[in-house]
Structure 1
Amino acid sequence: MSLNDALHWRYAAKRLNGEQVPEETLERIMEAARLAPSSFGLHPWSLVHVRSQDLRARLHEDAAPQPQVIEGSDLLVFAVHDRDFKAQVDEHVAHMAHTRGVEESSLDGFRDMVKGVMDQKGSHEACLEWAARQAYIGMGVALSAAALEKVDASPMEGFYPDRLDKALGLREKGLKSVVIMALGYRDTERDPGAGRAKVRRDREDFIYTIE
């Protein structure tokens, strides 16, 4: 199945049937998220995987009331690193040097350039907003990977981040949730959206070619 075929197949399922996503399939989806691009390769976000049914039930009751949270197989939380961004740059440069087998000092120009961009953003809050946009890139890759696996993926912004962060202990990990995604399999009998035609803008109203 091509990626376009997979994207035609997918939709944001509102009701899931409780069937478990196979472990190897889940790992491929999460690995795709890990491999997603980010600005400077900094990857200023992490993926939090919530499999426990009991924990997802508590999240559903207090922080994320959508049925997919408890009807799905797994819940993925895309969370930004809510800590000093220049320190994150230093960690990234050290990791890059180790991975590529080069002297860290050879990357000083890159380090200074990225830190200069952080300075231009002007505040920690602005850096957090930038990091959230990077997390959304990861979510888009994960959505596409799930579609290729014929796994339904329902992204959700309608939750209470502070409550969810507290329930998962994210603040203690220096993380702040920005979007969540339930994985599972559509319940075609209970989901009113199942089988509906996909609605997107027509190509001529969407793509503007400048030659």
Structure 2
Amino acid sequence: MDIISSLEWRYATKKFDPSKKLTKQQIETLKKAFNLTATSFGLQPIKLIIIENKELQEKFVEHSYFQRQVADCSHLLVLCIEKDTSEKEVNNYFDLEIKTRGTSEEVVSTFRNQLVDMYKNMSLEDRQLSAKYQTYIALGNLMTVCAVEKIDNCPMEGFVPNKVDELLNLADKNLQSVLMLPVGYRAEDDVMNGLKKVRKPMQETVIEIS
């Protein structure tokens, strides 16, 4: 499939086939795609939790407004943010850049100090909001990769974050949940399977300026 055909093939899966599982290689592809996702300043204030435990997945159902996708999918992906992006996290990024690229401190010091000051002057709420925006970038990237790899999925905001945080003990990891992405294979009797996409005409959504 070319990329457009792949995107036309995908839809928000409402019913998964619980008997079908993704391979380790497919999960590895999703892990790598997540880690390669672009984030603001490259700071990666986001984490991906991958759940393959049916007993645990069943506990998500009542906290996801009884949407069965979280339990019947092959794997449940939970996109989280770090509760804060501190000076330590900013410095860790630049230290990693120096180690990875062989860049000198002299080259990065000005930008390092600018970012440290910028994050210091932001409120905690704004730092968290910035991190949340990054999870949506990662979600879109994962959904596109899923389409190319013919992995069905269903992006979900419809859940109770504090309950999911409790289930996963995220407070102990200094994380909080933002989005979920059940992944697997569509059931043959999914009511959405095969329906035409409903989209506005392209001229109503795309503006070209020459």
Specify if TM > 0.5.
Answer: yes
Instruction: Work out whether 1:115 is the aligned partner of 2:116.
Output: yes
C-alpha separation in 1, matches of 2:107 and 2:50: 36
**1:106 has 2:107 as partner:** yes
Does 1:133 pair with 2:127?
no
Secondary structure of the 2:155 match is: strand
Q: In the alignment, residue 4 of structure 1 is paired with which amino acid?
A: I
Give the partner amino acid of 1:83.
Answer: D
1:155 aligned to 2:181? no
Q: What residue number does 2:69 align with? A: 68
Query: Is the 8 Å Cα contact of residues 85 and 127 (structure 2) preserved in structure 1?
Result: no
Mapped partners of 1:65, 1:36: distance in 2? 30
Percent of residue pairs identical = 31
Kindly state the Cα deviation for residue 107 of structure 1 after the two structures are TM-superposed: 1.4
**Shift of residue 114, structure 1, vs aligned partner:** 1.8
SS class of match (2:154): strand
Unaligned runs of 5+ in 1: none
- CA separation in 2, counterparts of 1:64 and 1:172? 25
Q: Confirm whether residue 81 of structure 1 aligns to residue 70 of structure 2.
A: no
Provide the secondary structure at the position in 2 that maps to 1:155.
coil
Q: 1:66 to 1:105 in 2, by over 3 A?
A: farther
Matches within 5 A, 1:8-19: 8-18=8-18, 19=20
Instruction: Give the Å deviation of 1:118.
Output: 2.2
Q: Could you tell me whether the CA contact under 8 Å between 1:30 and 1:142 is conserved in 2? A: no
Segment of structure 1 superposing worse, 44-53 or 63-72: 63-72
Q: Which runs of 5+ in 2 are unaligned?
A: none
- Do the aligned residues in 1 keep the contact of 2:85 with 2:119 (CA within 8 Å)? no
Correspondence for 2:96: 95
Pair 64,35 (structure 1): closer, same or farther in 2 beyond 3 Å: farther
Listed one character per residue, the Cα deviations across residues 166-205 of structure 1 (whole Å, up to 9, x for unaligned) are: 110111111111100000111131x221111011111111
Q: How far apart in 1 are the matches of 2:113 and 2:152?
A: 42
Distance 1:56 1:170 in 2: 16
Larger deviation, residues 62-71 vs 45-54? 62-71
Matching residue of 2:58: 57
Deviations 1:1-27 (A, max 9, x none): 111111100000010001101110111
Q: Which residue of 1 aligns with 2:196?
A: 197
The letter of the residue matching 1:208 is: I
Which deviates more from structure 2 when the two are superposed, residues 76-85 or residues 13-22? Answer: 76-85
Q: Distance in 2 between matches of 1:16 and 1:132?
A: 27
- Is the 2:77–2:181 Cα contact (8 Å) retained in structure 1? yes
| Matched AA of 1:8 | E
> Structure 1 stretch 12-21 or stretch 99-108: which is displaced more?
99-108
For 1:76 and 1:44, locate their aligned partners in 2 and report how far apart those are by CA, in whole Å: 17
Deviation per residue, 1:111-146 (Å, 9 max, x gap): 1222243245x3111111111111110111000001
Residues 1:64 and 1:109: Cα distance change in structure 2 (over 3 Å):
farther
2:37: which partner in 1? 36
Deviation at 1:73, TM superposition (A): 0.3
